Structure 1
Amino acid sequence: MKWRLGTLLLVVVLAYTSCGTLMPGSGSAPEAGDSVKVVFIGTDLTKTASMTGFKNADVGKPEDQMRALEAWINANGGIGGRKLEAVYREYEASNDSPAAETTLCSQITQDDRAFAVVLTGQLQSNARPCYAQRQTLMLDATLIANSRETFDSLSPYLWTASYPEYDAFATSFVAVLGREGFFEGRTQAGLVAADSPANRAVYEEIVTPALRKLGVTGTVSWIDTTDLGTLNSGLTQAAITFRSRRIDRVFFLGGARIAPFFLTSAAAQSYTARYGISTFDNPTFMVANPGTIPQAALAGMVGVGFAPGYDVPDSELAFPDTDAERDCQKIYAEAGITFARRENARVAFAYCDAALLLRAAAADLGGSLSAATWGAAAQKVAFRTATGFGGEIGADGHAAGSGYRVLRYETGCSCFTYDGPVIPVGQ
């Protein structure tokens, strides 16, 4: 069990540790009259699931979903009047590494010569800089924490049509924990966070001041995910530290499923706490794997949810719920593709968000299509995300996920539920 857990941890969490050597490229916008080539990455979790025994939602056939979007867009004006040429590349998650990400980046930017790439599961820290240096537009459909600094430093190449910007999310996360009485009667709290520049900046600039205003001191355990040994020892030591300091309120930064894996490590150390969680922690994954994740630890969980397909079952939020969900669902239905539940549409809706945002922002650009002109248009276009809440990117933004709801675990349904209305991220 320890070997299986550690293997998946190493695969999934390495995102925040390494950076490969990158060579700048000469990627450029397609010339007038050309098609627009966009590569959609599909991340294969089959081998990882078989190694670990963890259950993941069935997301169907991403390549077929991509083809449905390609056909619909080309029948409805294309990309600024140009034909969308969609290319599918599958990426094996169990082989994820900085070297593998650099190889994939080279294939897409040099062999495919893509104008844009839709990222899914590209967790390594060298991935996004590689595409930016090679002047390739990124529509990030990976559930990963991209900070404002990251977006700004890689501008105008990095965007997400589905998720929120990390700084605004972190502001809302701590605010919700405070409003929900998570810290009531406590003067200290524990944080478990992947050791990355983005996490450290958010912790120092946003989380620490917010906790101070609540009268709480944070004890952070930075998880070094360089290799299997440092990863496992980091999670174990975090539980030991919190137990020794009698800290019984813990929340997480950085996602990458550190939260569910920490629950297992904590149980092995006879440590229990009440946990603050978010969509970045993939709540439905915790519910779906009772054989490996202590279900008793879920009781009392509260936090922020911004992507229903990762947060709640359809019994708690009707599917479809928004016009954006219905629009994407209709596109796929026309191609004979249907989804039994919202969680089965996770990849399909993220693909749809990326494709529709690409189309919408390019609509009036004509022969001036480039990453820079597209980005300027994306900040003005009317858009709604099917994956999450909200949609307008705004004049200074790069992320279309502009809303969240309070998320909590309910023992009655043994599931996570939403409470209250959609609130703008940052509040």
Structure 2
Amino acid sequence: MPGSSTDKSEMSPGVTADSVKVVFIGTDLSKTASLTGFKDPDVGDPRKQVEALATYVNAHGGIAGRKLDAVYENYEASADSPAAETTLCSKITQDDKAFAVVLTGQLQSNARPCYAQRRTLMLDATLIANDQGTFTSLAPYLWTGSYPEYTAFATSFLDVLGREKFFGGRSVAGIVAADSPANRAVYEKVVTPALKKLGVAGTVGWIDTTDLGTLNTGLNQAAVNFRGKSIDRVFFLGGARIAPFFMTTAAAQNFTARYGVSTFDNPSFMVANPGTIPPGALKGMVGIGFAPALDVPDTALPFPSTDAERNCQGIYAAAGISFKQRENARVAFAYCDAALLLQAGARDVGELTAASWGRGAQALGTSFQTATGFGGELGPSLYAAGSGYRVLKYDDGCPCFTYAGGVTDVGA
């Protein structure tokens, strides 16, 4: 069961005497883009990126002395649903019999429990809210090498909104939140107390993101509700691209507001879609960013900027793969984080199981640094390697998002 620390070999699918099978999921957004009109940056060939990582890892000791048997699995984002996630989970755990899976666009609440129940290690590269309760309940199976833990994130997010005077004396603010267990828990434990300290009451629009139909219904209801209460300060929780969808829906309902955003809302995506994001919606946006490829252009932060970025860039360059800009490496760097964390956590284990690997990962402390985000810290009860953020603001002069100030520890 999730939460168990047993090391029995039968709990280690995908591990043989000489290989470790890992499935890297690639989320295909092309059909979704054609349906919505939203444009995404070119992220290259994920299959070749996975091959490059396997070549590097296997040339540098493999996974616990075994060959990394990397399998690429394409997933159609427009078909995402609880049933589709169950089908994908069954294929990876029962047909592929993978030791680990790298998640990239699995947004449904049933996805991660499915892999944990099948005793498959997850390295989550999806921009989705995983709070401490989720990590703990699914231990030792759920980890991320790229992003921060959601409770710590929310603490910092609300702190920055307060310091930046986002609420401007308003007594009520709107919150558009993906309806997930993690969001519900963080709203109750972190957001509500933080707003109370700021003298602000929250009105929440809980959004069912199961499919486009439930998504649009929830967004419309939230916009109408906010408009009826004359709310003009709105921020987002949980990602799942509800921010740009909401802004479009809100415009159709004649609702406008100043928005608080974060990396979970994919700021650079909003800038890249001026024809679909309502004019003026980005003005005054403020929040926190923790993944530069999703936040700011290279003019705002030179590429590469960290040793971890340079290392991953070098791994791909050795395979003839290059990236014009940081945003083009957003998937490749998340894959790189996952592969290198997998290798590092397995370095000193005996029998390779999810539990033994987890102990090895947490023993890394700050020695593993994320290429996708800022910093890196693992340890007892720490499952998310991303450890830093920067204040994020929209700049009309670019037009783009930029960072203000240095890197701050999330949750501090």
Change (3 A) 1:111 1:242: same
Aligned to 1:49: 33
Shift of 1:234: 2.2
State whether structure 2 residue 353 is matched by structure 1 residue 370: yes
Aligned to 2:405: 420
Shift of 1:27: 4.8
CA contact (8 A) 1:29 1:371 kept: no
State whether structure 2 residue 352 is matched by structure 1 residue 399: no
Q: TM-score, with normalisation over the residues of structure 2?
A: 0.95
CA contact (8 A) 1:29 1:369 kept: no
Question: Which of residues 367, 370, 377 in structure 2 aligns to 1:385?
Answer: 370
CA contact (8 A) 1:308 1:387 kept: yes
Aligned to 1:21: none
Q: Deviations over 1:162-206 (max 9, x none)?
A: 001111111111000001111232111111112222111111111
Aligned to 2:6: none
The residue type paired with residue 359 of structure 1 is Q
1:302-317 alignment, distance < 5 Å: 302-317=286-301
State whether structure 2 residue 394 is matched by structure 1 residue 409: yes
Question: In structure 2, how many angstroms separate the alpha carbons of the residues matched to 1:257 and 1:157?
Answer: 26
State whether structure 2 residue 194 is matched by structure 1 residue 239: no
Shift of 1:407: 0.3
State whether structure 2 residue 139 is matched by structure 1 residue 155: yes
State which drifts further: 297-306 or 119-128.
Answer: 119-128
State whether structure 2 residue 222 is matched by structure 1 residue 257: no
Question: In structure 2, how many angstroms separate the alpha carbons of the residues matched to 1:29 and 1:322?
Answer: 35
Shift of 1:230: 4.0
Gaps of 5+ in 1: 1-25
The residue type paired with residue 234 of structure 1 is G
1:26-425 alignment, distance < 5 Å: 27-28=11-12, 33-226=17-210, 228-365=212-349, 367-381=350-364, 382-425=367-410
Q: Number of residues paired by the alignment?
A: 402
Q: Deviations over 1:321-354 (max 9, x none)?
A: 0000000000000000000000000110000000
Question: In structure 1, how many angstroms separate the alpha carbons of the residues matched to 2:52 and 2:121?
Answer: 21
The residue type paired with residue 328 of structure 2 is N
CA contact (8 A) 1:148 1:165 kept: yes
Shift of 1:394: 2.1
CA contact (8 A) 1:30 1:369 kept: no
Q: TM-score, with normalisation over the residues of structure 1?
A: 0.91
Question: In structure 2, how many angstroms separate the alpha carbons of the residues matched to 1:152 and 1:223?
Answer: 25
Change (3 A) 1:85 1:199: same
Shift of 1:233: 3.0
Shift of 1:65: 0.3
The residue type paired with residue 355 of structure 2 is A
Let me know the Cα RMSD of the aligned residues. Answer: 1.5
Shift of 1:33: 2.7
Question: In structure 1, how many angstroms separate the alpha carbons of the residues matched to 2:147 and 2:111?
Answer: 18
CA contact (8 A) 1:36 1:84 kept: yes
Gaps of 5+ in 2: 1-9
Question: In structure 2, how many angstroms separate the alpha carbons of the residues matched to 1:224 and 1:355?
Answer: 32
Question: In structure 2, how many angstroms separate the alpha carbons of the residues matched to 1:363 and 1:150?
Answer: 26
The residue type paired with residue 345 of structure 2 is A
Q: Is the partner of 2:281 in helix, strand or coil?
A: helix
Question: In structure 1, how many angstroms separate the alpha carbons of the residues matched to 2:211 and 2:43?
Answer: 29
Question: In structure 1, how many angstroms separate the alpha carbons of the residues matched to 2:14 and 2:219?
Answer: 47
Shift of 1:270: 1.7
CA contact (8 A) 2:167 2:233 kept: yes
